[in-house]
Structure 1
């Protein structure tokens, strides 16, 4: 299963962060993680295409077989409050997923935002460590964070709590609390149309759902984005 935060956080960077209301492309390279210790260095590319004043399309893929497309729409609730609704479908070599999120953004200051929201992800895998039949499961999430701009420099933080609410296709799944705590920090600097950034992600999971699940990891990623 694709680590969802790599998609969603990048989309958030372009839709509600330093590059709002623009069309952007990006390139990300993982430089340190559990996978890199086995010489697997994931490279991801994508685009956030501004389709209207409040709407945008996200397309992303990586060299590990993941491909996703999504659409986000912003709604102004007041002078300080906005809401973003985002939907995404994705697939990888042995599975597929669908994501829906609602994010509420509070403009506390011209260079300081607070945000929080809810999400739900439905995923299915064609193989599992518990059986040779496909498995599917839903994951609910609650997240919150902040976005800060200091001139050309920006700093984003996001905390996500995820809870699996059901697994089908597995007859001998042990009784465990399948939950994940995830922290993500993105820091970068904008030079004209270019924005290089570094991203750190840490997550810790309780329980293993399938053979691709990882219980904990610290991921360092280098990225660069170009805004049209």
Structure 2
């Protein structure tokens, strides 16, 4: 478990911070001394995360719709004002999935997932990275995107989700190439089956099939992914740029 105050003086912005992996990231960053902007489309969930953080008064909970540029800009401006600085640590954890067969999927259902998972990652990253560069604060800045093993292997009944996560991987590598010389590092993680609210609707039958091809034979906990994310945000990973790191418990298919 991360400890110490390695993020003292840093400001972090975490999308999807109201639950799951995003919530765990916020908690670890706060323990490490960062001031955290907990952003989520569900403001109540963001506030619930805020209440779990060390020194909750040092942090802020904000509503953000990552698919809406005006909403992202508003939350970023609020973060800068209330935390008195620009975030130099960014975690794009907001994401959704919608179960549907490819042949029956509507255009609306496809684009809903694209807008949040891929467009949202683009909008938040662009606005935050520009703010970092405008304030000459790129040294030690780090972005971590949340992709998925589905982006590498595909996922039946979730073709749009898998497509967006494959896009996040390519987006991460492309941004990393562009931004590395500015001082901003960009990496991503590829979680497997993690016990988050998004997984709550997966049937026991499907989960049993998934775990049969998992070396550890269990689903992961949000904290187990969050610890890697926080490592990628830290100077401990200073030579990692454009990496897409799997956190899967040894998924064997």
The TM-score, its normalising length taken from structure 2, stands at: 0.34
Q: Which has the higher strand share?
A: 1
Q: Which has the higher helix share?
A: 2
Q: State TM-score, norm by structure 1.
A: 0.36
